[in-house]
Amino acid sequence: MANNFFGITDIGKQRDNNEDTFIAQKADDGNFIIACVIDGVGGYVGGEVAADIARDCILQQLSYIAGDIVPLLVNTITIANQRIYDRKLEAKQLENMACVLTLAVIDIQNNLFYYAHVGDTRLYLLRDNSLIKISKDHSFVGFLEDSGRLSEEAAMDHPKRNEINKALGFNPQIAHDPDFVETGQSPFLPGDTLLVCSDGLTDMVDKNLIKAILTSSGSIQDKGEKLIDAANSKGGKDNVTVVLVQNDKAPRKYSATRPAATTAKVTDEIIDPLAQPKLPDGPLTVPVKQKSNRGTMVVLFILLALALTGFLWQFWLNYQLTQTPVKVVAVPPVKVNNAEQIRLQDTINKLKGRTLILSDADFKQPIILSDTLHISQDSLYIKAKGNIIFKRDSTYAGPGISLAATSKYIVLDSVAFEGFKVAIATRNDALVLKHVVFNNCMVPVQTSYIFPDKKYISGRLFGGLFKIDTLSKTTK
C-alpha cells in the first residue's frame, strides 16, 4: 500500500490562529498507520499548547505498536491528559487550556482499525458508497443528534453546538473512569476509507456533501483539499482539519473449481504394515556350514587375560596416588563469549539506524549467550527473519538481554528465549514484545523502575498491555 494516507489543516476564514493539529504517518515499525485529529480549546495560546502536548505524547507512546492495542490507546490518552493538566498547573495563562481528539490506528496487514475518542472531533468509515459515523460527539447537542432527537441540519445550527462535556486537561483522574475514553475496533476492508476530522468540517459541511467528495475521482490528497475548500466556501468559521486513510488493496476474488480426480489405484487387498515381507518361492531352509568352536575359546581367553592385567595396573596406580599428597588449586571459571554473540553485540553497538533485522541465515542457531547482550540505544526495533533463538549457556546465570536505563522504546519481534533465569532485564516502560516466546525461563521479563532520590513519588504501574498471541508461532 502506497500513498494511501493524507492529512491537512487550515486556519479557516474567521480565525487568527490554528488550534488544530493532526497526525498522518506510519509507526516506526511500518506495520501501522496513525491517523489523529486534535482540536485545541482554551484561548489564543492555550489551545495550541494542549494540542501540541497531546500530539507529542501520542507519537512518543505509539512509536512502536504491539500487544493489545485498545488498552494501549487508552493509556496513551491518559498520559496525554496528565501532561496537559500538569502543564496547566505550571503556567497561569494556560489554566483554561484543553483539547479533544480522535485517534485511529490502522493495522495494514490484517485489515483492521482501532480507535479512541474524546470530544467532538469525528471518525467516519466509507464503505460501498455508504458513509458511517463511528464516533459519538461528547456534547449535549451531539447526544441529541446521535440519538435521532435532532436532525443534522438542526444540530449544525444549534447555538450550543460547540459546548463539550469531555476534553483532555480538565480532570487528572480520567484513569478511574472506564467510560471517559470511547474506544472500538472494526474491519478495514479493501476499498474502505477512514475520515478523521475536526468540527470545523462537520459544522460547515453536511454528510451528503462529504460522501460525494469522498466517492469522487481523484487521489486522497485531492479529496482532502476539496473537503477543506467545501468548509471554507460555507463560511470557514473554525479551523478545519482532515485526515484520510484508504485501503487500496485489490479485493480478493475466488472462483469455484472442480476437485481434481484422484489417480490413486484402489484395490480390495488389505496390507498389514507389520507383516513380514513375502519371501520368493524356493526351499524353506538353507543349509549352513558348521564352524569349529576352538577359535572362539582362544579369543575369549585372551580378552580375559587383558582385562585382568588392566585391573591390576589400575589398582597399582590408585595405590601410588594415595601415598602422594596432591595440592588442588582452584581455577576460576573463564567466561568466554562465543563468536556469534560477539558478532551480534558488535552489530547492535555499531547500528546506525533504529531497525535491526536478524536472519537465521546469518547467525548460527541457537545463539548461545554466555554473557548479557546490552542494548543502550534510545529506540531500537529488533525483528527476526526465520527462527532466532537465544539460548543460555549452561554455565551462565545472568540475564539474556539488558536494556539501558536511558532506553525508551525497544521492540523485540518474533524471537525466542530458552533456559534463562532472567530472559530480559528492562527499566521503566521501555520494552515492547511482539510474538516473543519464552521457553523454560524462570523470569521472562524483570522490570525495575528508576525514581529520583529523596523525592515523593505517586502513581501506579500500568499493567495489562501484554497478551498471549492467538496465532502461535512454532519455534524449533
DSSP letters for 126-194: EETTEEEE-S--SBHHHHHHHTTSS-HHHHHT-TTTT-BS--BTS-TTGGG-TTSSEEEEEE--TT-EE
What is residue 318's predicted lDDT score, i.e. its pLDDT?
A: 65
For 42, counting Cβ atoms within 10 Å of its Cβ (0-12 exposed, 13-18 middle, 19+ buried), the class is buried
Which pLDDT score, from 0 to 100, does residue 476 have? 38
φ, ψ of residue 385 in degrees (nearest 5): -115, 105
pLDDT tens digits for 71-106?
999 999 999 999 999 999 999 889 889 999 999 999
| Sole residue written with cell 462529504 | 210
Question: Which residues of the chain are under the pLDDT cut of 70?
Answer: 1-2, 43-44, 251-296, 298-299, 311, 313-337, 459-467, 469-476
Residue 338 has a pLDDT of 77
**Quick one: pLDDT at residue 142?**
83
Cis ω before 159 (30° cut-off from 0) = no
pTM for this prediction: 0.66
The H or E element that residue 184 is part of is: strand 182-187
| pLDDT at residue 264 in the model | 38
pLDDT at 429 (0 to 100): 77
Q: Is 60 helix (H, G, I), strand (E, B) or coil?
A: helix
From residue 262, how far is each of 259, 265, 266, 359 by CA, in Å?
A: 9, 9, 10, 40
- State the pairing for strand pair 240-246/367-369: unpaired
Interatomic CA distance for residues 97 and 51, integer angstroms: 9
Cβ–Cβ under 8 Å, residues 335 and 393: no
Domain spanning 5-246, CATH architecture: 4-Layer Sandwich (3.60)
Distance CA 308, CA 302 (A): 10
Beta partners for residue 113, in sequence order: 106, 186
Q: Which residues contact 397 (CB under 8 A, 6 or more apart)?
A: 421
The secondary element (H helix, E strand) that includes residue 130 is strand 130-133
How is the chain split into domains, by residue range?
A: 5-246, 339-448
